[in-house]
């Protein structure tokens, strides 16, 4: 497979993409992923435990993430928590999805649909 | 809400959430249930500390919606459930085809068209779901006299109970359904052979 080519067997839902983005920083447990997504999106994306673990299950099945074997010191953390990390394939899938979104944003920008440009264009047209 | 009462409320909410997890399939619940309950409990503690009772109510309502939605998705996307959904949809299609054949059969000089619909419909169902070929043949074959009987009850057609040709309608439906199943089997076989012989790049 070409290095630039991403695995296209899994359709990434917004929830799955958000989880991959979060895990790009390093390994996290379920609650940390949920909190990080909520913080990063300013609270606009609030994922419930059901959606979170359904997405994690799909990502694990697709081989995009794996459960981490290394655990923090049990005295510092709850030992029942499972940590997840990105695989090489997961990294490529996240990269491909990010590039796809980059193209969409570039297109929206060229059509002056983003931010003040859109407002200015609308005012100019009146 | 006082701090003391909220302390008693949090375990109760956690227990209720754990009880709600019964909505998920057993395998999913066993794999992720304890973690989900733990995440919910931690969320409750954090929300109660940060936003108080109002935040807790919002969190619980969102969690309830999330459990209902994600458990439904989990059930629907299971291979067995997908199979059941497909069979149900194909059954509806088969009944519609049988009704169409039945209405054609009642018309003068349209028997060939009715036969063509029976054959084509059962063939199609056999191709899509070859394991249930016998079911599609039976369903479409029964649909023909069924449609005529329904037409008779509603006063649109004349149904002759001594009509001996109805059992014969199963012959084309069985031929069609099993021909479809055989075609699917042959196609699968040639594809799998082809994939083995494709060169690796």
In this prediction, residue B200 carries a pLDDT of 41
Residues 6+ apart with CB under 8 A from A17: A94, A97
> Between chains, do A31 and B39 touch, taking CB under 8 Å as contact?
yes
CA-wise closest residue to B94 among B57, B138, B49, B131: B138
Q: What is the CA radius of gyration of chain A?
A: 18
Instruction: Quote the DSSP letter at residue A6.
Output: P
Assess B135–A contact: CB distance below 8 Å, yes or no: no
Q: Which percentage of chain B shows pLDDT scores above 90?
A: 25
- Tell me the per-residue pLDDT of A28-61, one tens digit each, with 9 for 90 and over: 999 999 999 999 888 888 899 999 999 999 999 9
Task: Sort out which chain A residues have CB atoms less than 8 A from B65's CB and list them.
Answer: 48
Rounded CA gap, A98 and A91, in Å?
10
Counting every residue written for chain A, the total comes to: 126
Q: pLDDT band at residue A76, thresholds of 50, 70 and 90?
A: low
B111 to each of A10, B100, B115, B117, B175, how far by Cα in Å? 48, 12, 6, 10, 17
Which chain A residue has its CA at the smallest distance from B75's CA? Answer: A54
Q: Which of residues 47-66 of A touch B (CB under 8 A)?
A: 48-54, 56-57
Chain A residues touching B70 at Cβ < 8 A: 48, 50-51, 53-54
Which residue shows structure tokens 């054949």? B101
Cα dihedral sign for A37, A41, A46, A50? negative
Q: Does the pLDDT value for residue A70 go beyond 90? A: no
Q: Give pLDDT, residue A113.
A: 87
Which is higher by pLDDT, A70 or B116?
B116
Q: What is the ipTM of this complex?
A: 0.78
Sign of CA dihedral A101, A102, A104, A109: positive
Determine whether B62 is exposed, middle or buried from the number of CB atoms within 10 Å of its CB (0-12, 13-18, 19+).
middle
CA–CA distance, B185 with B127 (Å, rounded to integer): 9
**Chain B residue nearest residue A46, CA to CA:** B62
- Residues of A whose CB is below 8 A from B46: 35
pLDDT of residue A122: 58
With a CB cutoff of 8 Å and minimum separation 6, the contacts of B173 are B118, B119, B121, B122, B136, B137, B138, B140, B141
Mean pLDDT of A8-33: 89
- Write the DSSP string, chain B: --HHHHHHHHHHHHHHHHHHGGGS-HHHHHHHHHHHHHHHHHHHHHHHHHHHHHHHHHHHHHHHHHHHHHHHHHHHTSHHHHHHHHHHHHHHHHHHHHHHHHHHHTSTT-HHHHHHHHHHHHHHHHHH-GGGHHHHHHHHHHHHHHHHHHHHHTTSS---TT--STGGGHHHHHHHHHHHHHHHHHHHHHHHHHHHHSPP-
Tell me the chain A residues in contact with residue B35 when contact means C-beta distances shorter than 8 Å.
30, 49, 53, 80-82
Tell me what pLDDT residue A3 has.
42
How do A83-86 and A65-67 pair as beta strands? antiparallel
Mean pLDDT by runs of 10 across the 201 residues of chain B is 64 92 93 93 90 89 93 84 79 81 69 80 87 85 72 64 60 88 86 52 35
The pLDDT score that the predictor gives to residue B97 is 80
B87-124 confidence digits (pLDDT tens): 888 888 888 887 777 777 666 666 677 778 888 888 88
Radius of gyration of the CA atoms of chain B, in A: 28
Task: Write out chain B residues lying below 8 Å of A58, CB-based.
Answer: none
- Nearest-CA distance from B50 to chain A in Å? 13
**pLDDT given for residue A121 in this prediction:** 57
Closest Cβ opposite residue B62 in set A35, A46, A56: A46
CA distance B124 to chain A (A): 28
Q: What is the mean pLDDT of chain A?
A: 83
Is residue A34 within 8 A of residue A52, CB to CB? The reply is: yes
Tokens of B180: 């479809």
The predicted structure's pLDDT at residue B16: 93
* pLDDT at A98 (0 to 100): 94
Amino acid B93: pLDDT: 84
Query: At CA B191, angle to CA B189 and CA B197, rounded to 5?
Result: 105
| Residues of A with Cβ-Cβ distance to B62 under 8 angstroms | 46, 48
């Amino acid at each position: 497979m070409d290095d630039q080519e991403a695995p296209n067997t899994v359709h990434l839902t917004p929830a799955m993409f958000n989880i991959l983005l979060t895990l790009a920083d390093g390994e996290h447990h379920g609650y940390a992923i949920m909190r990080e997504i909520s913080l990063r999106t300013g609270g606009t994306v609030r994922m419930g435990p059901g959606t979170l673990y359904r997405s994690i299950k799909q990502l694990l099945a697709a081989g995009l993430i794996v459960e981490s074997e290394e655990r923090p010191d049990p005295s510092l953390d709850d030992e029942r928590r499972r940590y997840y990390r990105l695989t090489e394939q997961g990294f490529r899938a996240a990269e491909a999805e990010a590039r796809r979104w980059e193209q969409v944003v570039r297109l929206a920008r060229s059509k002056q649909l983003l931010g003040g440009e859109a407002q200015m264009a609308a005012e100019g047209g009146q | 809400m006082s701090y003391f009462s909220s302390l008693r409320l949090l375990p109760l909410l956690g227990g209720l959430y754990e009880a709600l997890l019964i909505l998920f399939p057993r395998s999913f619940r066993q794999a992720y249930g304890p973690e989900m309950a733990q995440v919910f409990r931690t969320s409750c503690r954090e929300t109660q500390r940060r936003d108080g009772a109002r935040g807790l109510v919002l969190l619980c309502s969102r969690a309830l919606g999330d459990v209902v939605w994600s458990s439904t998705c989990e059930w629907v996307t299971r291979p067995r459930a997908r199979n059941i959904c497909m069979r149900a949809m194909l059954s509806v299609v088969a009944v519609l085809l049988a009704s169409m054949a039945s209405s054609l059969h009642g018309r003068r000089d349209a028997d060939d068209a009715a036969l063509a619909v029976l054959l084509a419909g059962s063939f199609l169902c056999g191709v899509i779901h070859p394991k249930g070929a016998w079911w599609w043949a039976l369903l479409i074959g029964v649909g023909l006299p069924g449609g005529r009987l329904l037409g008779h009850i509603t006063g649109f057609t004349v149904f002759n109970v001594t009509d001996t040709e109805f059992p014969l309608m199963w012959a084309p439906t069985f031929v069609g359904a099993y021909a479809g199943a055989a075609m699917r089997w042959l196609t699968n076989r040639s594809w799998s052979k082809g994939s083995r012989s494709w060169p690796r790049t």
